Amino acid sequence: MRKGIANDPGRRQRIRDAAAAVIAEEGVEAATYRRVAAHAEVPLGSMTYYFPKLTDLITSAFELLGEQLRPRYDTPLRDAVDRQAAIEVLVEATCGSTRATPEQLRLGREMHRCGSRSPTVAAQIASLEAEAIDALRTHFTEPAARALDALVGGWWVHQSWNRAPLDPDMVRRAFTSLAREFDGPDDHEKLDEHDELDEPEEHDAGQ
């Protein structure tokens, strides 16, 4: 008799990982029970035990994307000591050590494509964006946070198609300029401007 107790604690996660991989490589349409089970190397009959509906499996794969990116993006933003440090977090998340993997970028692209037809997935996307904007608001105003989040998302979509590396200095300048446009110069920039204005004038030795 089936008791409803899984005999393989890691199986559900393997299925989620496999679903994410299949969607990233072949598109949402390819994420069938049979295809994902083969990729995860689990019995086909076990799929509905963990995910009774195919839509449950697909949304779980998209949830996995958020779980993977949150430590790289959301947490570092909240931990940044100031605005310049927050901008550096954005640079790293866009083209540095914490940037999304090619698979994650493709999965994100598929998530947005699916969200145009699925209210459930659209709600997932809105929730992820709300989290990102909330983290950005730790250092930026609401308008700046929304603009910066849109720029990050745009670059991620761009990189899902184009493998050419982004120039970190260009990315940094774009984030800095956008933040300055909405929120003005940060404290370091204000200090530099103040120092320039307060430079003593030179006088002739004979005066």
- Show contacts of 151-156: CB within 8 Å, 24+ apart: 151/175, 151/178, 152/90, 152/93, 152/94, 153/129, 155/94, 155/95, 156/94, 156/100, 156/105, 156/108
CA angle in degrees (0–180, nearest 5) for 50-51-54: 155
Instruction: For residues 146-151, give the mean pLDDT.
Output: 95
193 Cα distance to chain centroid: 34
Instruction: For residues 187-206, give the mean pLDDT.
Output: 52
pLDDT of res. 122: 96
Q: Is the pLDDT of residue 37 over 80?
A: yes
- From 25, 19, 173, select the one nearest 94 (Cα to Cα): 173
Q: How confident is the model at residue 12 (pLDDT cuts 50, 70, 90)?
A: very high
Q: Is the pLDDT of residue 146 over 90?
A: yes
**197's tokens:** 């204005």
Alpha-carbon span 156 to 99, nearest angstrom: 9
Q: Is the pLDDT of residue 78 over 50?
A: yes
Per residue in 89-136, pLDDT (tens digit) is: 999 999 999 999 999 999 999 999 999 999 999 999 999 999 999 999
Q: How confident is the model at residue 151 (pLDDT cuts 50, 70, 90)?
A: very high
Instruction: For residues 33-47, give the mean pLDDT.
Output: 95
% residues pLDDT > 90 (the chain)? 75
Q: Is the pLDDT of residue 187 over 90?
A: no
pTM for the full predicted model: 0.80
- As a whole number, the mean pLDDT across the chain is 88
Q: Is the pLDDT of residue 189 over 90?
A: no
Alpha-carbon span 141 to 115, nearest angstrom: 27
Q: Is the pLDDT of residue 181 over 70?
A: yes
- Helix residue spans in 80-101 (DSSP H): 83-95
